[in-house]
Amino acid sequence: MNKAVTGKLGELAAGRYLRENGYEIITANYRCRLGEIDIIAKQNNIYALLRLKRDLKIISTHLPTPLLFQKEKIIAAAKLYIASHNVDLQPRFDVAEVFVEKNQVAKINLITNAFDGEGK
């Protein structure tokens, strides 16, 4: 299975997982000059700004190392989105780890509050 197919399966699986767990998907693949956010979703009074990490070899309980270097861009993109869309809900930065098995079954590990608006 190539990377594009795995990525699309991961996005679909993450979206399905979020909807099944009470999230309303607002937009996907938000990109701006400052960075990108894979999924923006609403749950109760929270705006969840999600980054998907795909092609993982294992499901973990900690933040994936490559994401540590992307936090500033994610936060900058989120601030621009919030300002330009007049979002008045509390933002939260989540990470959805997506592991697609060879049989094309995806496992999702959602890390809520993975980091804050200051990157901590």
Question: Tell me: domain 3-115, CATH 3.40.1350.10, correct?
Answer: yes
Q: What does the DSSP 8-state code read for residue 63?
A: -
Q: State the Cα–Cα distance between residues 85 and 42, nearest whole angstrom.
A: 13
Q: State the Cα–Cα distance between residues 53 and 64, nearest whole angstrom.
A: 8
Residues of the chain with pLDDT under 50: 58-59
pLDDT at 24 (0 to 100): 97
Write the DSSP assignment of 86-100 as a string of letters: T--SEEEEEEEEEEE
Domain borders along the chain are 3-115
Per residue in 38-65, pLDDT (tens digit) is 999 999 999 999 988 876 554 455 555 5
- Look-up: residue for tokens 């809900």? 89
pTM score: 0.83
Q: Which residues contact 33 (CB under 8 A, 6 or more apart)?
A: none
pLDDT at 67 (0 to 100): 64
pLDDT at 44 (0 to 100): 92
